[in-house]
Structure 1
Amino acid sequence: MYECLYNKSVVWSRHTGGVQVILGDASVRFISENINLQLWRNLVWINDGEVIGEF
């Protein structure tokens, strides 16, 4: 389970090892529970102006 400290939202899943997420282009990806915390924060915060490449 990850907690986004910016907007106080919590993401959780019953999938072992991570979570399934849907992206703005309607694609679905599995995000590992071992993802870098800063990358995770950048992915869930939409108004920070960051451009994120492939992950």
Structure 2
Amino acid sequence: MKIKLDCHHAHRLAVKSMDAPLAWHERLRLRMHLLVCDMCTSFVQEMTMLRRSMRGWGREDE
């Protein structure tokens, strides 16, 4: 198993983590990558904000 992730795989794990819990080794690999990659960290933050916004969308009508 490769320890170092490239950005493509980091994005895939980040999206996967939003739908289901990751295995411990996937979480570790993603966290290690995010420590050194500002671009992927921004991607995760933007995706998190987008998901929160989408969850709240429609609730405003209630």
TM-score by length of 1: 0.32
Larger gyration radius, structure 1 or structure 2: 2
Higher relative CO (Cα under 8 Å, sequence separation at least 6) belongs to 2
